[in-house]
Amino acid sequence: MPKVVTDVTCPFCGTLCDDLEITVSDDNKKILSVKNACAIGAEKFNHTKEPGRVTHPRMRQPDGTFKEISYDEAIDFTARMLVKSRKTLMYGWASTSCQAMSIGHEIAEKVGGIVDNCATVCHGSSLIAIQDVGIPSCTLGEIKNRADRVIFWGCNPAHAHPRHMSRYSIFPRGFFTVKGHKGRKIYCVDCRHTDTARVADTFIQVQQGYDYELLNAFRTAARGGPLPDEIGGVPKEKVYEVVEELKTGRFGVIFFGMGLTHTLGRNHNIDIAISFTRDMNEFTKFNIIAMRGHWNVTGSGQVLSWQYGFPYAVDLSRLDKARYQTGETTSVDLLTRNEVEACFYIATDPGAHFPIAAMISSSKKPTVTIDPHINCTTEISDVHIPVAMVGVETGGCAYRMDNVPIETRKVVDPPEGLLTDEEVLTRILNRVNQLMEEA
């Protein structure tokens, strides 16, 4: 008899929808159907069925081909690499559980690693901004229950967080928002007329790279100051009009994405958006939320923070202290400046998502990648250790984009013999301890 697993959390994006219903075969081996997920989430669960899944660690040979090796061999190679390297980049963590991260951090503390997560190329800018000016924010349920002014700035949830608008931000009816979409005014600020812009009541097309100036104009307008005629392609009349509309709302929120974090000025774009949000609290209630990408990148930041006090780019290379400086201990800078001697990647694919210069540097160093699948990183690594998919084949804690922790569930068994991240990391830690005692 097929079984239905309910309350399943989707391990794709930071929206972390936790209402999926998944039907699995009675032997716990196959996913038969996925209910409530978006196209991407469904693909993730269905992908487990794909043939050709790697089930054994692989080591790259001098001729560029890969040879199957045992977990013991792979773990020994990894531990020796970590013990030898004087400074190791340990990057990834966004697609694994908080429990696994914790073990990874213990390894890093032993071997002098620099633990960095996907925020480094995603919402790292936002974290820097929050460190500079704080952040007035709320959980997503508050938006559902109260928000009547919703701004999407430099983000496109229709594509990147497909169920965000229906679960939290545009369509749901909440306690004080019984009219749902009709009771809300939706704004979209972007340099493209996106699918998100199509559902907005007001679209403000800003010239690419002029968000900081436009937000500066919003702030100036909120204080009743004078403005030049046009800011980043937006007429000043529009700015005054929108700011007045926002002031008349009861509860406003800005959702922002990589349209702000990736463009000129990076953290400053977020910084000024937060400052605008803060200003608006003099007139009404206003919050701002980062549209975090990976499903558990937030969790990595949380665990690193309670253990070391920094949300990413945590430099433990001195063994006796934790340090942090974005621009120095961040992955792309470490790689392009050749500041590390080995690379350890887990639960992410920098090969696909880092600028190529960083990966060229990485490919010249001893590298181990832990990932369920073949990807752009595994193929330029010395060793690839395949593992069970977290959130599908094993469970663990994850944090949503608003920092709410939600448990991911094991839905099906992993392929025979495949270890989990937690198991692989624990074995690496034990091997590292052994090697260090021997030394």
Partner 1 sequence: MNTVTLTVKQQPEIILEADCITPDSFAGKTAAEIEKLPVYQGKQNCTLGDYFKVAGKAGSTPAETQIIVNGDCSRVKYIGMKMSAGEVVVNSSTDMYTGGWMKGGKLVVNGNVHSFCGLGMEGGEFIINGNAGNFLGASYRGDWRGMQGGLIRVKGNVGSDIGTFMNGGEMIIEGNADIHIATHAEGGRIVIKGNVNRRIGGQMVKGEVIVFGTVNVMMPGFHYNQDVELTVDGVTAMFQEYNGDLGERHPKRKGEPVYGKLYLKK
Partner 2 sequence: MVEKITLNLITCRSIQQGVGMEAGKTSKKYFDACSIIEMHEDDMKNLGILKNTNVRVTSATGSVVVKAVTTRQELVPGLAHIPMGPWANRIVSAYTYSTGEPCFKGFPVEVEPAPSEQILSAVDVVKDACGLLKK
Partner 3 sequence: MSEFLIKNGYVYDPSQGINGERHDIAVKDGKIVESASSGATVIDAKDKAVMAGALEIHAHIAGPKVNVGRWYRPEDKLFHSYKRGESTRIEGGFSIPTVFKTGYEYARMGYTFAMEAAMPPLYARHVHEEIHDTPIIDEAALPVIGNNWFMMEYIKNNEIENNAAYVAWLLRQTKGYGIKIVNPGGTEAWAWGLNCLTIHDPVPYFDITPAEIITGLIQTNEFLGLPHSVHIHQNSLGLPGNYTVTLDTLKLAEGHTAKNRFGRKQVMHSTHLQFHSYGGDNWGNFESKAREVMDYVNRQENITIDTGNVTLDETTTMTADGPFEHHLHGLNHLKWANVDVELETAAGVVPYIYSPNIKVCGIQWAIGLELALFSKDPMRTFITTDHPNAGPFTRYPRIVTWLMSKKARDDQIKAFKYSDKVVDATEVASIDRELTLYEIAAMTRAGPAAALGLSQNYGGLAPGMNADIAIYNFNDETTDPAAIEKAYGNVAFLFKDGKICVRDGVIVDPGMKHTFWVDVKVKENKQVMHDVREKFLKYYSVNEGNYLVPESYAPHQHVIALDATQ
Residue 248 binding: pick among partner 3, partner 1, partner 2, none (C-beta 5-8 Å cut-off by kind): none
Q: 92 touches which of partner 1, partner 2, partner 3, none (CB within 5 to 8 A by kind)?
A: none
Q: Does 352 help bind partner 2 (rule: CB under 8 A)?
A: yes
CB-neighbour burial class of residue 171 (10 A; exposed 0-12, middle 13-18, buried 19+): middle
Complex with partner 3: residue 17 or 342, whichever CB lies closer: 17
Residue 249: closest CA among 183, 343, 327: 183
CA nearest neighbour of 364 among 390, 340, 386: 340
CA distance 420 to 410: 11
* Token code pair at residue 389: 């998919």
Distance between CA atoms of 208 and 214, rounded to whole angstroms?
Answer: 11
- Least Å distance, CB 209 to partner 2, is 5
Enumerate binding residues for partner 3 (CB under 8 A). Answer: 6-7, 9, 18-19, 98, 102, 109, 127, 130-142, 144-146, 167-168, 173-176, 250-251, 278, 281, 284-285, 287, 301-311, 316, 319-324, 397, 399, 402-407
Q: Is residue 323 a contact point for partner 2 (CB under 8 A)?
A: no
CB 366 to partner 3: min, Å: 25
Q: Which of residues 216-245 bind partner 1 (CB under 8 A)?
A: 216-220, 222-223, 225-228, 231
Q: Closest CB to partner 1 among 69 and 222?
A: 222
If contact means CB under 5 to 8 A according to the sort of partner, which of partner 3, partner 1, partner 2, none does residue 85 touch? partner 1
**Contact region with partner 2 (CB under 8 A), list: 77-85, 191-199, 220-228, 427-435:** 191-199
Alpha-carbon distance 184 to 435, whole Å? 60
Beta-ladder partners of 31: 24
- Can you read off the two tokens belonging to residue 324? 């942090």
Nearest CB to partner 3, comparing residues 243 and 397:
397
- SS3 category, 28: coil
**Residue 232 CB, nearest distance to partner 1 (Å)?**
9
Long-range Cβ contact pairs of 321-330 (< 8 A, separation 24 or more): 326/120, 326/124, 326/127, 326/128, 329/114, 329/116, 330/116, 330/120, 330/124
Q: Judged by CB under 8 A, does residue 235 bind partner 2? A: no
Listed residue (256, 246, 169) closest to 212, CA to CA: 256
* Measured distance CA(148)–CA(146) in Å, rounded: 7
Contacted entry of partner 1, partner 2, partner 3, none for residue 259, CB cut-off 5 to 8 Å set by kind: partner 2
Q: Which residues ranging from 270 to 289 are in contact with partner 1 (CB under 8 A)?
A: 271-272, 275-276, 279
Q: Of the candidates 429, 394, 396, which has an alpha carbon nearest to the alpha carbon of residue 415?
A: 394
Q: Is residue 14 close enough to count as binding partner 1 by CB under 8 A? A: no
According to DSSP, the residues that pair with 408 across neighbouring strands are: 396
User: Are 149 and 249 in contact, with CB atoms under 8 Å apart?
Assistant: yes
Q: What, of partner 3, partner 1, partner 2, none, does residue 216 touch, CB below 5 to 8 Å by kind?
A: partner 1
CB 140 → partner 3: shortest distance, Å? Answer: 5
The pair of structure tokens assigned to 124 is 């790292």
Q: Minimum CB separation from partner 3 for residue 64, in Å? A: 40
Cα separation, 133 vs 125, in Å, equals 12
Dihedral angle computed from the Cα positions of residues 266, 403, 373 and 355, in that order, rounded to the nearest 10 degrees:
10
- For 398-419, give the DSSP string: EE-TTS-EEEE---SPPSTTPP
Q: Which residue, 261 or 287, is less far from partner 3 as judged by CB? A: 287
What span, in angstroms and rounded, lies between the C-alpha atoms of 229 and 145?
37
Question: What contacts 145, CB < 8 A, 6 or more positions away?
Answer: 174, 175, 176, 177
43 makes contact, choosing from partner 2, partner 1, partner 3, none, with CB < 5 to 8 Å by partner type, with: partner 2
What would the x/- binding string for partner 1 be over residues 402 to 421, using CB under 8 A? --------------------
Instruction: Decide if 351 contacts 379 (C-beta within 8 A).
Output: yes
- Interface residue list for partner 1 (CB under 8 A): 85-87, 111-112, 128, 131-132, 212-213, 216-220, 222-223, 225-228, 231, 264-265, 268, 271-272, 275-276, 279, 317-319, 324-328, 337-341
- What is the contact surface with partner 2 in residues (CB under 8 A)? 12-13, 39-41, 43-44, 47, 50, 64, 120-121, 124-125, 128, 156, 158-160, 162, 191-195, 205, 208-209, 258-259, 261-264, 266-267, 293, 313, 326-328, 330-333, 335-336, 349, 351-360, 363, 373-376, 379-380
